Amino acid sequence: MWNQGCSQAAHVITSSGETLSHKATSSMAHKAHLEIFPCTVSQLLAAPQLCNDCFTICDCELKQVSVVGVIRGFAPFVTNVQYAVDDMTGPPLNVKLWVNMEDSAQTTVASPGMYVKVIGSLRSDSGQRSLLAMNVRRIKDLNEISSHMLEVVQAHMQVSRKVFDVNMNTTVASQPDWSSGTCPQGVLPNGLSTVQGQVLHQIQVFSVHNDGISFHDLTRNLDYISMRDIRSSLVFLASEGHIFSTSDEHHFKAA
């Protein structure tokens, strides 16, 4: 999953598709426990830069990121191998992987045309952005390409609270307008039904009070929803960690 940590060992891929491990530098190893944010190349190239090597997407600071693409070219050097990785969302991204060139097996580089998944940190040098790789792994199952794009969409929905299409264009805002007493039909972007979303919205509004909102006030404000549906929504929201009870089991606040 996109929010799992990556291994502290870096890898280089061979022509047979196997990965060979070597020790990551100390400057990279301490970041290995951080979240891995799935991205497209175009998003990395367009990500706002706050300071040196500090980039954000939807106000979320990027630590480790992952991209999936095809190798368009490579260049071996004394201490590293550089790849040009293209995911067809923008120009190829330069990826640098530090290697131990004394090991002849590690000097075998992947051929252009191979699909790989890269995990690393975004860097900028003289205005040119590149990815300092912790891991480069050959993709053998092409389903991973589609899976990565789904993770990209899911991750950006969570941090931006918006809905995107397959081209990462915004389609609808995640916060519906219930001020008129009506609501959109179906399931909301966060996985809640419209009834559950309305109940949560009311609780969020009154969470500024010490005790939150009472069940009585909740049913009065949502008088167009049956008491049974409100109760079942409260049970679901509490079990999912969206709300909690306060002074007693009849008062609720948003988590």
H or E stretch covering 16: none
Residue 70 has pLDDT above 90, yes or no: yes
Chain centroid to Cα 143, Å, comes to 18
Residue 40 has pLDDT above 70, yes or no: yes
pLDDT digits (tens, 9 = 90+) for 152-205: 888 877 776 655 444 445 444 444 444 444 444 444 545 678 888 888 888 888
Res 14: pLDDT: 38
Specify the pLDDT at position 177.
Answer: 46
pLDDT at 102: 63
Neighbours of 205 (CB within 10 A): 13
pLDDT at 24: 37
For residue 250, is pLDDT > 90?
no
pLDDT at residue number 39: 92
Task: Flag whether pLDDT at 49 surpasses 80.
Answer: yes
Domain ranges of the chain: 9-164, 194-254
Which has the minimum average pLDDT: 60-64, 126-130, 147-151, 153-157? 153-157
pLDDT tens for residues 86-143?
999 889 999 999 887 665 555 455 778 999 999 999 998 888 899 999 888 899 888 9
Q: Is the pLDDT of residue 231 over 70?
A: yes
- Mean pLDDT check: name the lowest of 16-20, 125-129, 156-160, 233-237: 16-20
Structure tokens at 158: 């969570």
| Domain 194-254: assigned CATH number | 1.10.10.10
The pLDDT score that the predictor gives to residue 174 is: 42
| Topology of the domain comprising 9-164 | OB fold (Dihydrolipoamide Acetyltransferase, E2P) (2.40.50)
Cα–Cα nearest to 196, from 224, 162, 230: 230
Q: If you average pLDDT over every residue of the chain, what do you get?
A: 75
pLDDT bin (cut points 50, 70, 90) of residue 207 is: confident
pLDDT score for 161 = 61
pLDDT digits (tens, 9 = 90+) for 213-227: 889 889 888 888 888
Distance CA 205, CA 207 (A): 6
Of these ranges, 11-25, 50-64, 65-79, 199-213, the one predicted with the greatest mean pLDDT is 65-79
Nearest alpha carbon to residue 174 among 186, 162, 159, 192: 162
What CA–CA distance (Å, rounded) separates 67 from 130?
12
| Per-residue tokens: 1 | 């999953």
> Would you say residue 16 has pLDDT above 70?
no
Cβ 92 vs Cβ 72: under 8 Å: yes
User: What is the percent of the chain where pLDDT is above 70?
Assistant: 71
DSSP run (H or E) holding 142: none
